[in-house]
């Protein structure tokens, strides 16, 4: 990469089974094929100590108060922030499967106040783009392996989608909404087109923080 050019922080958000993992993988493969420095990440990162507690909660082997699991998800992002910053400044684009807005959407859908949910996310590096994959909860419920984890109930996912919709309209300057019901290849083509415009645009911009 040329001196002073940074990578982009690209986030995939959406309800469970909306295709984030599929689209992140396709985007990373495409960028690699063009020799663009890129790395995949995902939250929660279940490999750390905090991530293992989150995994126990999601797989229903441990119960925790809503506030506690919310703060653990946020802490799981904070424990990676130095690495995220370093990679971006080295010119590596990060394609991340879920980030702060998942934290806010799932906890607010349980009834926690949205401002309280947002508080521990403030100060994290702000995404350059959020790709929001949206589809009716019933469509997603028919996809493979749905129902294995704690939040995979269509009624709850409907409430999560409502919060994501609200965040999408509030943060319209960097959110892009896609119809996640369309074929994966069509979705990928639209995501690539936005990414190709985004990378040169943000390369000389300073990193920003969520506020």
Q: Which residues bind ligand T5A (CB under 6 A)?
A: 14, 16-22, 43-44, 58, 73, 97-98, 102-103, 106, 143-144, 149, 151, 180, 183-184, 187
Q: Burial level of 56, CB count in 10 A (0-12/13-18/19+)?
A: middle
* Least separation in angstroms between CB 146 and ligand T5A: 8
Q: Is the preceding peptide bond at 44 cis, omega within 30 degrees of 0?
A: yes
**Cβ closest to ligand T5A, residue 91 vs residue 139:** 139
Tokens of 86: 């370093």
* Least separation in angstroms between CB 43 and ligand T5A: 4
**Cβ closest to ligand T5A, residue 97 vs residue 128:** 97
**Cβ closest to ligand T5A, residue 58 vs residue 203:** 58
* Least separation in angstroms between CB 22 and ligand T5A: 3
Q: Cα–Cα distances in Å, from 30 out to 106, 145, 200?
A: 30, 26, 16
**Cβ closest to ligand T5A, residue 6 vs residue 31:** 31
User: Nearest CA to 17 among 160, 193, 137?
Assistant: 137
Backbone torsions φ then ψ of 62, nearest 5 degrees: -145, 140
* Least separation in angstroms between CB 91 and ligand T5A: 26
């Amino acid at each position: 990469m040329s001196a002073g050019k940074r990578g982009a922080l690209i986030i995939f958000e959406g309800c469970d089974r909306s295709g984030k993992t599929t689209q992140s993988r396709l985007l990373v493969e495409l960028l690699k094929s063009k020799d663009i420095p890129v790395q995949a990440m995902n939250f929660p990162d279940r490999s750390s100590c905090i991530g293992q507690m989150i995994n126990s909660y999601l797989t229903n082997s441990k119960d925790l108060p809503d506030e506690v699991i919310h703060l653990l998800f946020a802490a799981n992002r904070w424990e990676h922030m130095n690495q995220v910053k370093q990679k971006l400044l080295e010119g590596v684009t990060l394609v991340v499967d879920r980030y702060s807005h998942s934290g806010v959407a799932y906890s607010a859908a349980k009834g926690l106040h949205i401002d309280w949910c947002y508080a521990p996310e403030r100060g994290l590096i702000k995404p350059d783009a959020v790709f929001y994959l949206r589809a009716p909860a019933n469509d997603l419920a028919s996809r493979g392996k749905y129902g294995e984890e704690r939040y995979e109930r269509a009624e709850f996912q409907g409430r999560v989608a409502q919060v994501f919709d609200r965040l999408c309209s509030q943060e319209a300057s960097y959110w892009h909404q896609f119809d996640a019901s369309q074929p994966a290849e069509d979705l990928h083509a639209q995501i690539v087109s936005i990414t190709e415009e985004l990378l040169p645009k943000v390369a000389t911009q300073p990193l920003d923080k969520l506020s």
